Amino acid sequence: MNLRLLGRGAMLGAPFLFIDFLVNGMGDAQDKSALSGLYGLLYISGWICSILGLWETEAAGSNPWGRMVLLLQLLFLSLANVSNVLVLLQIGMDSQFFSILDLFWTISHIWMLVIGILVLTAMRLRGWMRVVPLFTGLWLPLALFLFSIIMGGTEESMLFSGAYSTVACMLMAYVVFRLGTKAQLSNTFALS
């Protein structure tokens, strides 16, 4: 797999959750327009690129658990993207099937915390790169608690939440991109 290409794809998708917040709102106030489905599809597809890059580099470890955690995330993100396609096409959005698929947005964000902890403890990435998946995984707890509860779900909290998401996903994309250079790979990726 071409890590640099995956990193570029992830960088392209990184800002689209924030763009969706700005255009369509956030949370219960979110307008589930076709445009929102497109933005979600781009965001999740970029995230899939990052997870594929972490898979390729065995960033969560080469043991079965490290591989399975990333494989589960790919499944969760794919299911979330099915809900994005339904929103994009504006079909079946009032069905129980859609409600179940839509839950995988939240599940994917929660699961990113598990991935972040595994990458941190696997010690396969070095320096600041090892912390980036955990930083990305902290988005949902911070968005829910810090930005929504403490800041009261204000427009400013939406801006902070969207900006955090963009920075975190962009950093994770950059890690994958940077690992794509063979010379960098041997310097930043600890091979067993």
For 116-174, how does the pLDDT look when each residue is reduced to its tens digit (9 = 90+)? 999 999 999 999 999 999 999 999 888 777 766 776 767 777 888 889 999 999 999 99
Residue 79 lies in a domain: yes
Residue 65 lies in a domain: yes
Residue 49 lies in a domain: yes
Residue 142 lies in a domain: yes
- Based on the number of CB atoms within 10 Å of its own CB, is 127 exposed (0-12), middle (13-18) or buried (19 or more)? exposed
Residue 13 lies in a domain: yes
Residue 122 lies in a domain: yes
C-alpha–C-alpha distance, residues 94 and 71, integer Å: 29
Residue 175 lies in a domain: yes
Q: pLDDT tens digit string along 67-117?
A: 999 999 999 999 999 999 999 999 999 999 999 999 999 999 999 999 999
Residue 192 lies in a domain: no
Residue with tokens 């993207």: 81
Tokens linked to 182: 């063979």
Domain, as residue range, for 120: 3-185
* Neighbouring C-beta atoms of residue 63, cutoff 10 Å: 11
Domain count, the chain: 1
